[in-house]
Amino acid sequence: MKIKNLIGSGLVFAVATFACGNALADNCNGRWTNTSMSGDTIDLGDGHTLTTFFARGSLTSDNSPMNAVGACGGYVLTTPDGKVQLAYACARKNKDGDTFSDAGGQKPGDDFGTWTQTGGTGVFAGNHWSGTWRPVLSDGKVTQGTFTGNCR
């Protein structure tokens, strides 16, 4: 169940993507949703599991151009001590057809994750935005969360 909730949480934002953080340069924020489309867990034995996932979702923001829909994929690694680590990458498109991608993750024991823009076109081109994300609500299939970051 913990992995299922973490997968939902990581879906990112998924997306995939973002949340409340302590960065001094935070100047954008918003909400994200992700719906899990597929996932597969492999039991590697001795308490190790590896789960891969794919999700579709959206970002909305009142103070940045991050209003877009797209998809995220990634993995969750669980170690024998019960700790989990999540990593993901997302690609999204806005209403004008501009695209951007981001990647990030969540470290074991953290209740927030980090994101970094990895590419973009149009309004997203040439940016180096980054920040944090936090899941707020998840039923294991659909997750809602918040993000903050430096979007200048």
Tell me the three state secondary structure of residue 3: helix
- What mean pLDDT is reported for the chain? 88
What single-letter amino acid sits at 53? F
Neighbours of 1 (CB within 10 A): 6
Query: 4-23, pLDDT tens digit by residue?
Result: 555 554 544 444 343 333 33
Mean pLDDT along residues 109-135: 96
Question: What is the architecture of the domain spanning 2-137?
Answer: Beta Barrel (2.40)
| pTM assigned to the model | 0.82
Query: 35-90, pLDDT tens digit by residue?
Result: 999 999 999 999 999 999 999 999 999 999 999 999 999 999 999 999 999 999 99
Closest to 15 (Cα-Cα) out of 60, 51, 46: 60
